[in-house]
């Protein structure tokens, strides 16, 4: 698993002086993290509605879904392509249990009942999928999860009684309480930001909790962990359960954002986009997926104008994404974060390069 | 076979019973009660034959996939793109020259050349890094899909069936009996039967090549233990290139078949990638007989499902996959 190498490098700092920082949150001593947090908090003052939701809201939502993949791939060594499918499943469940324009399908539950129901069902769905995927190990995980994702996509397309076929479910009701419309631009942005922060710190915490450390042990050497008395498969399935919950949160936010869900939202291409986001950002740290999502959303939004401006066909956005992804996979095993760190090391501490190689 | 019956008598009994019921359904004249319960026999027979012939097509796609995977541990997620590209090449050739047979040959050669190029330029550089190779194939499938969309647009293309294969043929399966006592036989498109026979011939040919020739012996040894094979002095890189070319070429041929059966359009690449994934997961990864069995099961399940439970058909396919993974995670016919 070359792509997940180096993940343990940051859990074991090279110098003793840095050791106490593992016990506290690593962000506390990092000024860049504080600056980013403050910018994100005062974003509604800076950005208008379009930027707030279409760029930053979407980035955070995609980042949450990709974060669940990062957790599985980076700490568990399991590259699951069904994270978007779990998110889409949660969205569909919210649409089916909640209120929408399709009165013959939606059960009309209020949002505070439909949301936990959708979260619970999606978590169960993802855990069962994970339990299937851990029946085989390594590279098979990709095949099985991709098969699950594709099967769900075709199922939503052909099933009318539950999923309303290829039209999907439209005009889904969003929460509205305490006199606030929570789908309004600014309240919705803060909801998304809060959920994203929660997921981010949950993953960050879990990666250093006993469970996360055991999971990383399972990733590096399942046989030795089994010999030490750890239940390898139980750890893997539990990782899937946690990741499914995170992905389901992203799915609920997604459906609140667009107020509709259709098979296109769970297509195989979209599922692969999540992998691209996570890999481009870097799957060794929780911040990677958010960086990847930001790059992806910026490209998706502005590639058309940019391509037309330099005299190319504006419809070649996916080509650009595919080539960019190939470049990252070819030249950096740790995505944009890896490139950034290599550059930082190259400028400040040239001797550090050889030391880091010892870990990989 | 006998060992399987000895080891799993209950499973063997279930399989034998299922096959017997299926054969009875196919060959017997249905009693009126059954026709009322599940519909006319003609519909059933058509679904079964469609399923079997679709299974032939799935076998062509999946056998290349499973061969590449078995030898090189390379999950080639761009296999669907190779299928679609083969179909487009076949369409261009057959509409330019009017020769259906020629389109197969050209599609095989062109797609096999792409396979050789991929193996030499891309995959050789990252040998032994399963995950990275798979990521690269994902990236390639995106790039190929967009390039093909650029070149061919979103239209549907269908490859013209040659004149000597057009039209139905009567096959000796009774669908019903007239009140006069005269039996009605099933009419079925000739082209599908011919293509199915061709895929059976290709399958047998591959089996013979793998089990009776020297190069086949080398490939089988490579599937079992690549490193030891390389250590014995076999030029393993050459074998890799050959196998990749063969697998890709088979996908190209399958594309022409698919373009004749139904149509070619963006999105078909994903459909056939899913089909080969499920076939290979069910049949057993790296096993050619497994691919044949899996293709037959999945083809039948898909067609029967879409006739009898139209909005839940894909669930049947999916449940088969789940069942196999739960009971025999390595696949039905895989050794490991």
CB atoms within 10 A of CB A59: 23
Measured CA to CA in angstroms, residue A7 lies from A76, A184, A222, A359 at distances of: 11, 39, 16, 9
End-to-end CA distance of chain A: 11
Contacts of A150 in chain B (CB under 8 A): 270, 273-274, 277
pLDDT at B34 over 80: no
Q: How many CB atoms lie within 10 A of CB A12?
A: 10
User: Quick one: pLDDT at residue A314?
Assistant: 66
Closest Cα partner for B303 from B63, B80, B49, B61? B49
Would you say residue B31 lies in a domain? no
Tell me if chain B has a CB within 8 Å of the CB of A161: yes
Is the predicted pLDDT of residue B151 greater than 80, yes or no? yes
Binned at pLDDT 50, 70 and 90, residue A67 comes out as very high
Rounded Cα distance, B115 and B121, in Å:
10
CATH code where residue B313 lies = 1.10.3470
How far lies A152's CA from each of A113, B213, B311, B317, in Å? Answer: 24, 42, 12, 11
Both tokens of residue B100? 């259906």
Q: Which residues of B touch A326 (CB under 8 A)?
A: 136, 139-140, 143
pLDDT, tens digit, 9 for 90 and up, residues A218-267: 888 888 888 888 888 889 999 999 999 999 999 999 888 888 888 888 88
Within-domain flag for B3 = no
Whether residue B131 and residue A139 make contact (CB cut-off 8 A), yes or no, is: yes
Judged by DSSP in three states, A105 sits in coil
Biggest CA-to-CA distance, chain B: 73
* pLDDT tens, position by position, A185-200: 778 888 888 899 899 9
Number of neighbours of residue B321 by Cβ within 10 angstroms? 24
Domain-embedded: residue B2: no
pLDDT, position A220: 86
Ordered alpha helix ranges (H), chain B: 2-7, 9-27, 32-38, 41-72, 79-97, 100-117, 130-152, 190-212, 214-224, 226-231, 236-261, 268-283, 288-308, 313-327
The reported pLDDT for the residue numbered A64 is: 92
Task: Tell whether the model's pLDDT for residue B336 goes beyond 70.
Answer: no
Provide the pLDDT for residue A16. Answer: 43
Mean pLDDT over residues B248-273, rounded? 88
What are B171's strand-pairing partners? B186
pLDDT tens digit string along A260-294? 888 888 888 888 889 888 888 888 888 889 988 98
- The answer to whether the beta carbons of residues B43 and B307 sit under 8 Å apart is yes
- Does residue B38 belong to any structural domain of this protein? no
Instruction: Answer whether residue B15 shows pLDDT above 70.
Output: yes
How many C-beta atoms lie closer than 10 Å to residue B91's C-beta?
A: 23
Q: What is the mean pLDDT of chain A?
A: 80
B310-322 pLDDT, tens per residue? Answer: 778 788 888 888 8
pLDDT at B109 over 90: yes
pLDDT at residue number B329 = 80
Domain housing B83: 43-327
Residue B70 lies in a domain: yes
Predicted confidence band of residue A17 (pLDDT cuts 50, 70, 90): very low
Is A137 an 8 Å CB contact of chain B? no
pLDDT, tens only, B171-194: 777 777 777 777 777 778 888 888
Is the pLDDT at A355 greater than 60, yes or no? no
CB contact set of B76 (below 8 Å; sequence gap of 6+): B65, B68, B69, B82, B137, B247
Q: Is the pLDDT of residue A3 over 60?
A: no
pTM metric for this prediction: 0.83
Chain A, 320-349: which have a CB under 8 Å from a chain B CB? Answer: 321-323, 325-326, 329-330, 333
Number of domains in chain B: 1
Stronger pLDDT, A207 or A340, i.e. the higher one: A207
**Residue labelled with tokens 């594309």:** B255
Strands B168-177 and A176-177: unpaired
Residue B104 domain-assigned? Answer: yes
Q: Residue A360 has what pLDDT?
A: 33
Please indicate if any CB of chain A lies within 8 Å of the CB of B270: yes
Instruction: Find the range with the poorest average confidence among A158-167, B146-155, B241-250, B318-327.
Output: A158-167
Q: Which residues of B touch A79 (CB under 8 A)?
A: 131, 134
Q: Which residues have CB under 8 Å from B205's CB, separation 6+?
A: none
Specify if B17 maps to a domain. Answer: no
Which secondary structure element, helix H or strand E, spans residue A141, and what is its range?
helix A140-158
For testing contact with chain A, the best of B131, B134, B301, B303 (most A CBs within 10 A): B131
Question: What's the average model confidence in pLDDT over B292-302?
Answer: 91
Look at residue B11 and tell me if it is in a domain: no
Residue of chain B with shortest Cα separation from A279: B135
pLDDT of residue B168: 80
Confidence band, pLDDT 50/70/90 cuts, at residue A23? low
Instruction: Report yes or no for ipTM above 0.85.
Output: no
């Amino acid at each position: 698993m070359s792509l997940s190498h180096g993940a343990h490098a940051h859990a074991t700092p090279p110098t003793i002086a840095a050791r106490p920082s593992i016990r506290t949150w690593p962000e506390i001593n990092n000024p860049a993290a504080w600056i980013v947090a403050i910018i994100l908090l005062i974003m509604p003052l800076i950005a208008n509605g379009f930027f707030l939701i279409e760029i930053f809201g979407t980035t955070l939502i995609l980042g949450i879904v990709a974060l669940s993949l990062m957790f599985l791939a980076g700490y568990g060594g399991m590259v699951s392509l069904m994270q978007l499918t779990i998110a889409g499943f949660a969205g569909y469940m919210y649409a089916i249990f909640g209120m929408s324009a399709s009165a013959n399908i939606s059960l009309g539950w209020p949002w505070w009942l439909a949301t936990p129901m959708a979260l619970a069902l999606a978590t169960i769905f993802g855990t069962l999928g994970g339990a299937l995927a851990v029946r085989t190990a390594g590279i098979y995980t990709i095949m099985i999860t991709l098969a699950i994702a594709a099967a769900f996509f075709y199922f939503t397309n052909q099933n009318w009684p539950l999923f309303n076929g290829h039209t999907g479910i439209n005009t889904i009701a969003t929460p509205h309480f305490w006199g606030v419309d929570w789908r309004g631009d600014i309240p919705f942005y803060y909801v998304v930001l809060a959920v994203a922060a929660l997921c981010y710190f949950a993953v960050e915490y879990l990666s250093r909790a006993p469970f996360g450390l055991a999971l990383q042990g399972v990733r590096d050497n399942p046989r030795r962990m089994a010999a030490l008395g750890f239940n390898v498969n139980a750890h893997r399935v539990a990782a899937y359960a946690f990741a499914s919950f995170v992905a389901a949160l992203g799915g609920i936010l997604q459906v609140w954002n667009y107020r509709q869900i259709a098979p296109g939202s769970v297509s195989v291409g979209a599922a692969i986009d999540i992998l691209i986001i996570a890999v481009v950002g870097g799957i060794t740290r929780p911040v990677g997926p958010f960086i990847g999502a930001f790059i992806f959303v910026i490209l998706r939004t502005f590639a058309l104008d940019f391509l037309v401006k330099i005299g190319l066909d504006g419809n070649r956005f996916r080509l650009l994404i595919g080539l960019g992804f190939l470049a990252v996979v070819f030249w950096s095993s740790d995505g944009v974060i890896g490139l950034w760190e290599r550059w930082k090391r190259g400028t400040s501490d040239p001797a550090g390069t050889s030391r880091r190689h010892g870990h990989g | 076979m006998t060992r399987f019956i000895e080891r799993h008598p209950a499973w063997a009994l279930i399989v034998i019973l299922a096959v017997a019921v299926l054969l009875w359904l196919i060959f017997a004249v249905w009693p009126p009660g059954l026709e009322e319960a599940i519909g006319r026999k003609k519909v059933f027979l058509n679904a079964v034959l469609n399923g079997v012939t679709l299974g032939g097509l799935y076998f062509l796609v999946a056998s290349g996939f499973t061969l590449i995977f078995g030898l090189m541990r390379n999950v080639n997620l761009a296999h669907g793109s190779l299928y679609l590209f083969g179909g487009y090449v076949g369409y261009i050739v057959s509409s330019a020259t009017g020769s259906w047979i020629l389109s197969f040959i050209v599609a095989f050669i062109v797609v096999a050349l792409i396979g050789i190029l991929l193996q030499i330029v891309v995959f050789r550089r990252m040998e032994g890094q399963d995950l990275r190779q798979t990521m690269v194939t994902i990236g390639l499938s995106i790039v190929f899909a967009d390039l093909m969309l650029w070149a061919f647009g979103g239209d549907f293309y269908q490859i013209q069936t040659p004149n000597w294969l057009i039209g139905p043929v009567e096959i000796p399966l009774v669908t019903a009996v007239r009140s006069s006592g005269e039996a009605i036989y099933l009419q079925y498109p000739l082209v599908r039967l011919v293509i199915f026979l061709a895929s059976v011939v290709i399958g047998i040919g591959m089996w013979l090549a793998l089990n009776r020739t020297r190069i086949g012996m080398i490939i089988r040894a490579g599937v079992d233990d690549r490193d030891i094979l390389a250590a014995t002095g076999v030029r393993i890189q050459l074998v890799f290139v050959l196998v990749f070319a063969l697998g890709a070429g088979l996908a190209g041929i399958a594309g022409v078949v698919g373009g004749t059966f139904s149509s070619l359009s963006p999105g078909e690449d994903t459909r056939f990638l899913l089909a080969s994934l499920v076939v290979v997961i069910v049949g057993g990864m790296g096993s050619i007989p497994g691919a044949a069995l899996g293709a037959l099961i999945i083809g039948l399940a898909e067609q029967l499902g879409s006739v009898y439970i139209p909005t839940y058909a894909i669930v049947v396919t999916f449940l088969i996959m789940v069942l196999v993974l739960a009971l025999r995670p390595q696949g039905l016919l895989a050794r490991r």
